[in-house]
Amino acid sequence: MPAYQAPLRDISFVVNELLESEQLYQTLPGYEEATQDLMDAIIEEAAKFAENVLSPLNQSGDEEGCRWEDGTVTTPAGFAEAYQQYVANGWPALSANVDTGGQGLPNLLSIIVNELAGTANWSWLMYPGLSLGAVKTVEAHGDPEQKDKYLSKLVSGEWTGTMCLTEAQCGSDLGLLRTKAEPQADGTYAIHGTKIFISAGEHDMADNIVHIVLARLPDAPAGTKGISLFIVPKFKVNDAGDIAERNAVHCASIEKKMGIKASATCVLNFDGATGYLIGPPNKGLNCMFTFMNTARIGTAIQGLAHGQLAFEGALSYARERLAMRSLSGPKNPDGPADPIIVHPNVRRMLLTQKAFVEGSRALIYFLAQQGDIVDKGNAEEAQVAEDLMSLLTPIGKAFVTETGYEVANIGVQIYGGHGFIKEWGMEQIVRDARISMLYEGTTGIQALDLLGRKVLGSGGKLLLGFTAMIDELCAAEPAAECTGFIETLRSCKDEWLELSMQIGEAAMQNPEEAGAAAVDYLMYSGYVTLAYFWARMAVLSQRKIDESPDGDVAFYAAKLKTARFYFDRLLPRTLAHKQLILSGADNLMDMPEAMFDL
Catalytic residue among 312, 427, 440, 513: 440
Round to whole Å and give the CA distance between 168 and 197: 9
Burial class of residue 193 (count of CB atoms within 10 Å of its CB; 0-12, 13-18, 19+): buried
What 545-549 contacts at long range (C-beta under 8 Å, 24+ apart), as own/partner pairs, is: 546/479
Round to whole Å and give the CA distance between 26 and 425: 43
228-233 and 189-199 as β-strands: parallel, antiparallel, unpaired?
unpaired
Q: 3-class DSSP state for residue 177? A: coil
Helix axes 512-547, 461-474, angle to 10 degrees: 20
243-246 and 235-237 as β-strands: parallel, antiparallel, unpaired?
antiparallel
356 phi and psi angles, rounded to 5 deg: -70, -40
Please tell me what DSSP assigns to residue 418.
G
Round to whole Å and give the CA distance between 279 and 181: 14
159-164 and 208-215 as β-strands: parallel, antiparallel, unpaired?
parallel
Q: 3-class DSSP state for residue 90? A: coil
DSSP string for residues in 276-331: EE-SSTT-HHHHHHHHHHHHHHHHHHHHHHHHHHHHHHHHHHHHH-B-S--TTS-S
Q: Respond yes or no: is residue 440 known to be catalytic.
A: yes
What is the CB neighbour count within 10 angstroms for residue 503? 23
Round to whole Å and give the CA distance between 566 and 379: 36
Round to whole Å and give the CA distance between 178 and 181: 10
Helix axes 553-565, 512-547, angle to 10 degrees: 150
Residues designated catalytic = 440
